[in-house]
């Protein structure tokens, strides 16, 4: 297994949907997402890495977003919100040009929350992305304080043989 912490930096996160209602700020305590005047019909997405949901990350992010030799990727992050909020999490896998697979999970933020996501690589997938859809009303502040990616690489089975 190879483990790597992704540098927490606001340039890795991209608002999607109603972008005018999402502000990103980075400081020593993490990356802050400020949601402003949200209503239940808003599409408030924060995506790790760039490009639209249909496309893999750009070349700028492909080293961090690559499966490499891994069959399974585990993403762990620490989120904290100033009020309770439901989040729909999208786990997406990509080939070289388009999205190949997507699945979702749900998480409720209520104070400091550890989020652990697992992506089992599908055949032909080269890259991954995650996106958080925040379901909330009014103003809210969410802080991301840690982000780790672990790649589980399978051990190759060696053939056994007998010497006579």
Q: Does residue 158 lie in a domain region?
A: no
Contact 150, 2 (CB under 8 A): yes
Q: Which of 12, 9, 80, 88 is nearest to 43 (CA)?
A: 88
Within 8 A by CB and 6+ apart from 54, the residues are: 98, 99
Predicted pLDDT of residue 27: 86
Quote the CA–CA distance of 18 and 8 in Å, as a whole number: 23
Tell me the three state secondary structure of residue 10: helix
Residue 161 is assigned to a structural domain of this protein = no
User: What's the rounded Cα separation, in Å, for the pair 85 and 136?
Assistant: 6
For 157, phi then psi, to 5°, come to -80, 130
How many domains are there within the chain? 1
159 falls within a domain: no
Query: CA-CA distance, 89 to 124, in Å (whole number)?
Result: 22
- Residue 163: inside a domain, yes or no? no
Q: For residue 55, what pLDDT is reported? A: 94
Predicted pLDDT of residue 7: 54
Q: What pLDDT is stored for residue 111 in this prediction?
A: 87
Q: CATH number for the domain including 25?
A: 2.60.120.260
Query: What is the pTM for the complete model shown?
Result: 0.84
Instruction: Return all residues near 129 (Cβ < 8 A) that are at least 6 apart.
Output: 47, 48, 49, 53, 56, 57, 65, 92, 94
Question: What pLDDT is stored for residue 30 in this prediction?
Answer: 87
- How do residues 85-129 score in pLDDT, each as one tens digit? 999 999 999 999 999 999 999 999 988 999 999 999 999 999 999
Placement of tokens 């697992």 in the chain: 118
The domain in which residue 98 lies consists of 2-152
- pLDDT score for 36: 93
Residue ranges of the chain with per-residue pLDDT less than 50: 5, 157-162, 164
């Amino acid at each position: 297994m190879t483990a790597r912490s992704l540098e927490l930096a606001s340039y890795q996160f991209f608002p999607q949907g109603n972008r005018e209602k999402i502000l990103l700020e980075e400081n020593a305590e993490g990356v802050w997402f400020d949601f402003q005047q949200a209503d239940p019909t808003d599409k408030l997405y924060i995506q790790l890495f760039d490009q639209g949901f249909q496309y893999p990350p750009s070349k700028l992010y492909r080293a961090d977003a690559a499966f490499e030799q891994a069959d399974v990727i585990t993403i762990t992050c620490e989120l904290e919100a100033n009020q309770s909020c439901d989040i729909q999490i999208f786990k997406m896998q990509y080939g070289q040009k388009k999205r190949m697979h997507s699945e979702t999970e749900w998480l409720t933020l209520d104070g400091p929350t550890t989020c652990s996501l697992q992506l089992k690589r599908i055949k032909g997938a080269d890259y991954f992305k995650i996106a958080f859809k925040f379901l909330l009303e009014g103003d809210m502040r969410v802080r991301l304080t840690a982000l780790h990616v672990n790649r589980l690489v399978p051990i190759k089975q060696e053939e056994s043989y007998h010497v006579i």
